A = this chain, B = another copy of it.
């Protein structure tokens, strides 16, 4: 049910010929209200795709009637023509839905530089056909139409006291910075103001999608949108709603991690006893982006030296000679020196746990990443995105 699980939403996914495989590539999610509240967060990359530029304008007033998403082309660095394509996509949807174009968000994913006349015609045609097929159980087909290298559709649902949240995601990456274009649409029938929706969205993405760092590459097209219909008529308890949204975003983030391009290990990097959350995140991210560490994990090698070499590049508060490192429950490094032998660590399971104890404070953070594999190199050298 995904994005159509909450009351007040319709969705559809259709094949418009953008993908050479003929698979579905245009999705539309419509908010039937009564509220038409929306919030969105975007890639922090300065190189921003046309749909990002469009959607940033459209979200200003906190009103969102619908969102149109396409795979098979990023419409990024395609000039004024490309921006007009995003604009025309919103106008086409608005015209067919009887709403204002300024209340329609647009998302695109695929090869940067793709956005010519043929692309535009297919996106507009797909938008028209998806809107004709809108249904209250269309969330499933929409979640398939946004896939690119994803091997499975990624959806999640949470139930509250009289309200619910639904979500779909594509990509294998993170938001700020991000990669491989992460697109996420979240829906809820809870009653929220635009300010509440925005605050909830930023809080939830800040500790979930923002801490998924599969390969450190930041996309030009990342966007996470929250659409609020209020159709349940229920004003949620804010703490409960925040927890449910964070949980749902966490589930989608893990699903993105588990489907990351070519990965053979899902690595959970837990940094504890940091002087600040920022320090913990910086330390975790430095490991998540270290190719030597990531290749070692692919090779089932508990190479803790590469962990220390990675965190030594950060400005975080800690003494490199007073750090403990655990891998899959085995303490391989104590106070910056060797502890248990590396071969005691069993790295054959896909789920990999790395614990870094900075002994510098009381804060913590968790970063999700993947290993660096032959398949990653293959997919990203053979697949143009």
Contact = CB atoms under 8 A, between A and B. Distances in A.
Interface in A33-58: 45-48
Contacts of A295: 376-377, 380-381
A309 B45 contact: yes
Contacts of A321: 77, 79
A313 interface: yes
Contact of A381 (B220, B296, B313, B384): B296
Interface in A285-340: 289-292, 295-296, 298-299, 301, 303-306, 308-314, 320-321, 333, 335-338
A62 interface: no
5 contacts: A47-B308, A112-B303, A113-B333, A292-B385, A298-B381
A94 interface: no
A216 B293 CA distance: 12
Contacts of A373: 377
A111 B296 CA distance: 12
Contacts of A312: 45-48, 218, 220
B305 A74 contact: yes
Sort A-B residue pairs by CB-CB distance and give the 3 closest, nearest first.
A112-B305, A47-B312, A299-B381
Contact of A337 (B79, B111, B289, B372): B79
A93 interface: no
A46 B320 contact: yes
A159 to B, nearest CB: 38
Interface string A343-385: 0000000000000000000000000000011101110111011
A264 to B, nearest CB: 10
A283 to B, nearest CB: 11
Contact of A77 (B177, B219, B308, B310): B308
Interface in A161-182: 177, 179-180
B313 A77 contact: no
A273 interface: no
Tell which of A48, A342, A381 has the most Cβ of chain B within 10 Å.
Answer: A381
Interface residues of A, number: 60
Contact of A301 (B48, B310, B381): B381
Which of A289, A292, A382 has the most CB atoms of chain B within a 10 A radius of its CB?
Answer: A292
Contacts of A45: 309, 312-313
A371 to B, nearest CB: 8
B77 A338 contact: yes
Contact of A299 (B48, B113, B299, B382): B382
Given A47-B311, A298-B377, A337-B77, A291 B216 contact: yes
A215 interface: yes
B380 A291 contact: yes
A301 B76 CA distance: 18
A88 interface: no
A276 interface: no
A277 interface: no
